[in-house]
């Protein structure tokens, strides 16, 4: 029997960063992210009795992605033994350009995990709907830690921490506390500073946290930040929100710079953009800030209410520091969508 499923799943941007892990893909500290909207992957997975893996990216054969998918299928095999009897064809399309420097692992692996869970349900796995989403988060995590957070919309927490009831190291949960409505439509404009391959992968970066001299302090700080966010998110305290999020981004890069061996992923234009954002916030009082993922691109964060002025600033002042003036306009999204004939891709 051939089983076919299609999901659209988004990327996410962490506000408190996951940095450091232990086997099997368990985080050294809790993290929280905004699920994105425009940056997503649409995946069509076909399972047929037999063996083998084939990957199509944007309609073209992509054999270089096969090892990553094989590793994923191997890692989740203990939970889904049936996969051993099926071949897999993955046909996947990213909404953002492959060369943009935006990691497709969170959106891509969560989309595939959602297809695997649907297939398991079709084969009679005893999962309720809420268990199914949790299972998709567990499987996504086994593929790539940050992917665990992409299976829900809005604010999502991964990693057990005392201030977030229900939080867990094995899967992500929707942020359970009150959130000011402003954060449901927060904007994230990704300034594409460097679009090449990263010099040091996230996976290698996580490994360097094992012997990092500041590791324990950092892990404690992440718990504290999650706890500090509770009133900030509830009350919509914008300036403390931006301060905390920026401190997280700079801490992440500070950890890279103080790893053994040390390395730097920011580029000169990353710093130009950061300084311009801070100067603009100081001189105008506009609530605009930034975060960084494990790369040189800058995510510019601001609430929808200042969109017009913020976008003028992005276009006039920040865009000249990017590669060919490129940036991606995104915002907080509502999470994955199953794609059927009724729900066509956006
Ligand atoms: C800096 O999830 O890409 O984006 O688990 O090894 O696949 P693996 O790493 P990955 O690390 C993401 C790190 C980060 C912070 C975050 O998303 O929380």
- Return the structure tokens found at 185: 């439509």
Alpha-carbon distance of 170 to 188, in angstroms, equals 27
> What sections of the chain are H helices per DSSP?
66-76, 105-122, 129-143, 202-208, 215-235, 238-257, 268-284, 307-313
From 16, 27, 39, 145, give the residue whose CB has the most ligand 1 atoms within 8 Å, as the site to mutate: 145
Q: Domain 3-178 belongs to what topology?
A: Ribosomal Protein S5; domain 2 (3.30.230)
Residue (of 176, 168, 121, 213) closest to 25 by Cα position: 168
Q: Which atom in ligand 1 lies closest to the alpha carbon of residue 106?
A: 2
Q: Residue 117 pLDDT more than 60?
A: yes
Distance 97 CA to ligand 1 centre (A): 19
Residues 22 and 51: beta-carbon distance below 8 Å: no
CA of 303 to the centre of ligand 1 (A): 25
pLDDT at position 253: 98
- Residue 136 contacts residue 113 (beta carbons within 8 Å): yes
Render pLDDT for 14-68 as a digit per residue (tens, 0 to 9).
999 999 999 999 999 999 999 999 999 999 999 999 999 999 998 999 999 999 9
Q: What's the DSSP call for residue 325?
A: G
Give percent of the chain above pLDDT 90: 90
Atom of ligand 1 nearest to the CA of 103: 3
If pLDDT is split at 50, 70 and 90, which confidence band does 344 have? Answer: very low
Identify the residue whose tokens are 């009133």.
231
| Threshold 0.85, pTM exceeds | yes
Ligand 1 closest atom vs CA 13 = 17
Q: How confident is the model over 169-212, as pLDDT tens digits?
A: 999 999 999 999 999 999 999 999 988 777 788 999 999 999 99
Report how far ligand 1's centroid is from the alpha carbon of 124 (Å).
Answer: 32
Given CA atoms 202, 15, 253, 213 in this order, what sign does their dihedral have? negative
Q: Which residues line ligand 1 (CB under 6 A)?
A: 14, 17-19, 31, 103, 105, 144-146, 202-203, 206, 252, 293-294
40 in Cβ contact with 8 (< 8 Å): yes
* Cα gap 267→57, rounded to integer Å: 29
**So where are the chain's domains?**
3-178, 181-331
CATH number for region 181-331: 3.30.70.890
């Amino acid at each position: 029997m051939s089983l076919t499923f299609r999901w659209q799943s988004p990327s996410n941007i962490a506000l408190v960063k996951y940095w450091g892990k232990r086997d099997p893909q368990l985080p050294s500290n809790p993290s929280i992210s905004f699920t994105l909207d425009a940056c997503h992957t649409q995946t069509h997975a076909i399972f047929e009795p037999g063996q083998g893996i084939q990957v199509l990216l944007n309609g073209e054969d992509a054999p270089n992605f096969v090892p990553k998918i094989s590793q994923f299928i191997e890692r989740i095999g203990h939970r889904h033994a049936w996969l051993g009897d099926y071949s897999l064809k993955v046909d996947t399309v990213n909404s953002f350009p492959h060369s943009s420097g935006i990691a497709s692992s969170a959106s891509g692996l969560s989309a595939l995990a959602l297809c695997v869970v649907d297939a398991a349900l079709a084969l009679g796995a005893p999962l309720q709907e809420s268990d199914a989403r949790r299972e998709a988060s567990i499987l996504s995590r086994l593929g790539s830690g940050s992917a665990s957070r992409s299976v829900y919309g809005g604010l999502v927490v991964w990693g057990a921490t005392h201030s977030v009831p229900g939080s867990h190291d094995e899967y992500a949960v929707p942020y359970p506390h009150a959130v000011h409505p402003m954060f449901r439509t927060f904007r994230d404009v990704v300034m594409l500073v460097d679009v090449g391959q990263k010099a040091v992968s996230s996976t290698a970066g996580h490994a360097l946290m094992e012997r990092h001299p500041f590791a324990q302090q950092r892990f404690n700080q992440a718990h504290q930040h999650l706890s500090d966010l509770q009133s900030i998110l509830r009350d919509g305290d914008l300036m403390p929100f931006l301060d905390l999020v920026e401190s997280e981004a700079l801490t992440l890069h500070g950890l890279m710079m103080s790893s053994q061996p040390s390395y730097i992923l920011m580029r000169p234009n990353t710093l130009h953009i950061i300084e311009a954002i801070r100067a603009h916030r100081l001189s105008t009082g506009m609530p605009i800030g930034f975060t960084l993922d494990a790369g040189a691109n800058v995510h510019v964060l601001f609430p929808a209410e200042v969109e017009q002025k913020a976008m003028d600033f992005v276009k006039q002042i920040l865009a000249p520091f990017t590669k060919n003036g490129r940036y991606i306009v995104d915002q907080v999204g509502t999470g994955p969508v199953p794609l059927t004939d009724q729900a066509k891709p956006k």
